[in-house]
Amino acid sequence: MIRRSDFPKDFIFGTATAAYQIEGAANEDGRGPSIWDVFSHTPGKTLNGDNGDVACDHYHRYKEDIKLMKEIGLDAYRFSISWPRVMPDGKNINQKGVDFYNRLVDELLENDIVPFITLYHWDLPYALYEKGGWLNPDIALYFRAYATFMFNELGDRVKHWITLNEPWCSSFLGYFTGEHAPGHKDLQEALIAAHNLLRAHGHAVQAFREEVKDGKVGLTNVVMKIEPGDSKPESFLVASLVDKFVNAWYHDPVVFGKYPEEAVAIYLEKGLQILDSDMNIIATPIDFFGVNYYTRTLVIFDPNNPLGFSYVQGDLPKTEMGWEIYPQGLFDMLVYLKERYRLPLYITENGMAGPDKLENGRVQDTYRIEYLEKHFEKALEAINAGVDLKGYFIWSLMDNFEWAYGYSKRFGIIYVDYNTQKRILKDSALWLKEFLKS
């Protein structure tokens, strides 16, 4: 049985959340609308028309939530800042919004919980979207100004920062598949958005070096283990190509200053330009990569699909998201990232959506305990294989707004009864509390 003491002494265990998924108070104290406010209020975009207007009401209940983190014994907490709460139009300051994050950080520190801040977790101010959003090259400068302001505001107390959460989701799901805000379906736009997201990241890192001399800054990507879904040689080729588009695309430029060869061809074919000056900014050195790992993705060669491949379902046990439970993929990707980029790593998200039922005041999510144990074991195996893994944030602290799936998917180790906003520690939280003492 894995124990906390098996991990390095300074290894940190935490939980992660994101502003739009938990805060609520969407129109309170001067907060402006984000693209997710507009998207979730657009009929047909989210399950049951669910939105983040109230969510977990964390904006008002943050003290109680921090008390629960303390009770579980967590070392750290990763959360995101709502850009439109602090800059309703993307530019001018809303002091009440800024005050909330000051209170939140101070409350965490008073409870000996280390804050990790994500600057952008998908809630772009709608006012900036109206100026082109991630398609407008100037967005990188708006983001730099926002980042600079937040570094100045909180950098004296917060020393661990993440610029973007999963630019693959923001660009591919937001601009190509249309599943996420702003719901566009245009491959060329997705490529432009991806490039501008990485440019914004680079600008923020440059600002960080000026504003927070003793801090660490990184980029969090979703990292998927891409495997061939059948034994055809073409499927192995396709898997390695998809791996380049999903993984290397968002890591290579940040470390090497260039896109993977296979990807550049698509860019040039689409007539997109990649300036050397852009690549130099994107490659401003970072201190770590954040790794969001959930599952593997199986692809097969498919000549009928314009992209040349299609996804196939694997036959391993799956979570409520239909994602295979595949802890080996975590080990594989941690080792891959270490060997390719040689940077310290944090698992900034790992967890599962389960069929959580509240019965007699209890949620017996034994499956989530098993999931976490298996992924903890693979993380430890990676450390023993030489990976400089520094921490592990469970997704998520509490059940929350699961984007297009609304409130139908529960990822929390804490159950939220949305009718009463009552929080109930699931068995997984009780297990974690004991693990953290082991």
Instruction: Could you list the residues known to form a binding site for substrate, using ranges.
Output: 21, 121, 165, 294, 395, 402-403
SS3 118: strand
Q: How far is CA 93 from CA 40, 122, 146, 207, in A?
A: 25, 19, 9, 18
130 in catalytic set: no
Tokens 């921090």 sit on residue: 66
| Smallest separation, CB 222 to ligand 8P5 (Å) | 4
Which residue lies nearer to ligand 8P5 by CB, 108 or 222?
Answer: 222
Q: Is the dihedral of CA 102, 108, 112, 116 positive or negative?
A: negative
| Smallest separation, CB 35 to ligand 8P5 (Å) | 14
| Smallest separation, CB 87 to ligand 8P5 (Å) | 21
Distance CA 227, CA 332 (A): 11
Rg over CA atoms, the chain: 20
The interface region with ligand 8P5, picked from 60-68, 91-99, 252-260, 290-298 by CB under 6 A, is 290-298
* Residue 323 CB contacts under 8 Å (≥ 6 apart), including other chains: 294, 295, 352
* Residue 226 CB contacts under 8 Å (≥ 6 apart), including other chains: 239, 240, 242, 243, 246, 247, 296, 297, 299
Distance CA 115, CA 106 (A): 10
> Are 403 and 414 in contact, with CB atoms under 8 Å apart?
no
Q: Figure out which of the listed residues 37, 166, 243, 252 binds ligand 8P5, where binding follows CB under 6 A.
A: 166
Annotated binding-site members: 21, 121, 165, 294, 395, 402-403
292-311 mask for ligand 8P5 (x: CB under 6 A)? x-xx-x--------------
Site for ligand 8P5 in 330-359 (CB under 6 A): 349
Of 349, 240, 332, 331, nearest in space to 289 by CA: 349
166 in catalytic set: yes
Please tell me whether residue 165 binds ligand 8P5 under the rule CB under 6 A. yes
Q: Figure out which of the listed residues 7, 14, 15, 18 binds ligand 8P5, where binding follows CB under 6 A.
A: 18
Candidates 23, 153, 227, 349; catalytic one: 349
The interface region with ligand 8P5, picked from 66-74, 126-134, 291-299, 339-347 by CB under 6 A, is 291-299
Position of minimal CB gap to ligand 8P5: 222
Q: How many chain residues interact with ligand 8P5 (CB under 6 A)? A: 16
192-231 mask for ligand 8P5 (x: CB under 6 A)? ------------------------------x-x-------
- Give, in degrees to the nearest 5, the angle at Cα 193 between 92 and 402: 80
Which residue lies nearer to ligand 8P5 by CB, 6 or 53?
Answer: 53
SS percent in the chain: helix, strand, coil, step 5: 45, 20, 35
Which residue lies nearer to ligand 8P5 by CB, 392 or 411?
Answer: 411
375-414 mask for ligand 8P5 (x: CB under 6 A)? --------------------x------x--------x---
SS3 246: helix
Which residue lies nearer to ligand 8P5 by CB, 179 or 388?
Answer: 179
- Give, in degrees to the nearest 5, the angle at Cα 383 between 380 and 387: 145
Give me the helices (H) in 247-365, please: 249-256, 261-269, 276-282, 327-341
Which residue lies nearer to ligand 8P5 by CB, 222 or 398?
Answer: 222
Distance CA 216, CA 388 (A): 15
Candidates 166, 189, 227, 324; catalytic one: 166
| Smallest separation, CB 403 to ligand 8P5 (Å) | 6
| Smallest separation, CB 122 to ligand 8P5 (Å) | 7
Q: Looking at the annotation, which residues are catalytic?
A: 166, 349
Interface with ligand 8P5 (CB under 6 A): 18, 21, 165-166, 169, 222, 224, 292, 294-295, 297, 323, 349, 395, 402, 411
